[in-house]
Amino acid sequence: MREKIKEIVDKSLSGKEITKEEGLFILSIPDEFINDLIEETKRIRETIFKNEVEFCSLINAKNGACSEDCSFCAQSSKYPTPINAYPLVSKKELLEGAEKAVSINANRYCIVTSGRRATEEEVEKIAEAVKEIKEKYPVKVCVSLGSIDKEALKKLKDAGVERVNHNLETSERFFSNIVTTHPWRERYETIKNIQEVGLSTCTGGIFGLGETDEDIVDLAMTYRNLGVDSIPLNFLIPIPGTPLENSNRLTPEKCLKIVALFKIFNPESEIRLCGGREQNLGEYHDTAMEIANCLMAGGYLTRAGRAPGKDEEMVKRLGRKLIKGGKQQLL
């Protein structure tokens, strides 16, 4: 088993494309061989990203009242979830979010809004805030504003935005099982638009929705074909009031296999542990960071994250170097 895993990892490191069958093999590895998978896969991270770790932080800049019906999301207006909906926050709050990101050692700060796409007025206000953030704080600015067009993307780029997040969430085949109010292809075309205007891409998925192993592999292959820069991996935390509130949680071992799979298919891409990492990975959280090189710190859109300092402690424990202000620093 170890030899077969090593063969696939060597293939990834040599720049050869991993096949769908090899991806399905990775996800089907018996749990007793999970350590072999981790030891082999972390060679990819060590080769390409060395010991670097990057934190990113987000601000939930516009919450709830979303017209879309993503079945995992508390922000949808379609579901009776206990959420405090509010419009776009002020420039002052956007700047305070950037200051907080810097204070928790984040190298990236992402402004996130709910809804299918940000309005022209919202884009204008965010662009103005980004200009000031770039003047005041040593942090890279990202946005996640839905299916915005090239004109809006260019305006944000001119303001200082460096990266745009827009998740495909799952495979094209499975997507309609979790979202019916817009097509998967719309998301895909948004990612192409982001690339075409010269912005960095951050696009990932959420796992534990009822997808098959084939869906997971198909998503990993899609990101390989797109050549995305950063892949945030989220693991479902069932939210009361949503259609997936009674979903079964993935095992920690399955989550590890998913992290390894995306690294193997996308060796040059950042692998970023995000929502649900603490609850789903459990005691294997540190183990997952042997493969990943980035994580979301300081909380998520509608859920709290790890207690302050826990992620910094992990970085120290693993003997890794945190990137702050674009530079490696020991904590």
The pLDDT score that the predictor gives to residue 74 is 81
Q: Please count the other Cβ atoms lying within 10 Å of the Cβ belonging to residue 214.
A: 15
At 133, give phi and psi (nearest 5°).
-60, -45
CB 289 within 8 A of CB 51: no
In whole angstroms, how far apart are CA 2 and each of 5, 9, 203, 217? 5, 10, 30, 20
Residues of the chain with pLDDT under 50: 328, 330-331
The pLDDT score that the predictor gives to residue 300 is 56
> Tokens 């979830």 map to which residue?
81
CB 210 within 8 A of CB 173: no
The pLDDT score that the predictor gives to residue 33 is 97
The pLDDT score that the predictor gives to residue 330 is 47
Q: Please count the other Cβ atoms lying within 10 Å of the Cβ belonging to residue 196.
A: 10
Beta bridge partners of 329: 322
CB 251 within 8 A of CB 274: no
Give the distance from CA 305 to its chain's centroid. Answer: 14
pLDDT tens, residue by residue, 95-117: 999 999 999 999 999 999 988 88
The alpha carbon dihedral of 305, 310, 311, 314 has a sign of negative
Q: Which residues, including other chains, have CB under 8 Å from residue 151's CB and lie 6 or more apart?
A: none
In whole angstroms, how far apart are CA 301 and each of 15, 60, 152, 278, 283? 35, 5, 23, 15, 23
The pLDDT score that the predictor gives to residue 303 is 57
CB 156 within 8 A of CB 142: no
The pLDDT score that the predictor gives to residue 4 is 94
CB 249 within 8 A of CB 282: no
pLDDT tens, residue by residue, 133-189: 999 999 999 999 999 999 999 999 999 999 999 999 999 999 999 999 999 999 999
The pLDDT score that the predictor gives to residue 80 is 79
User: Which tokens is 135 given?
Assistant: 């003047």
**Angle at the Cα of 28 from the Cα atoms of 292 and 170, rounded to 5 degrees:** 60
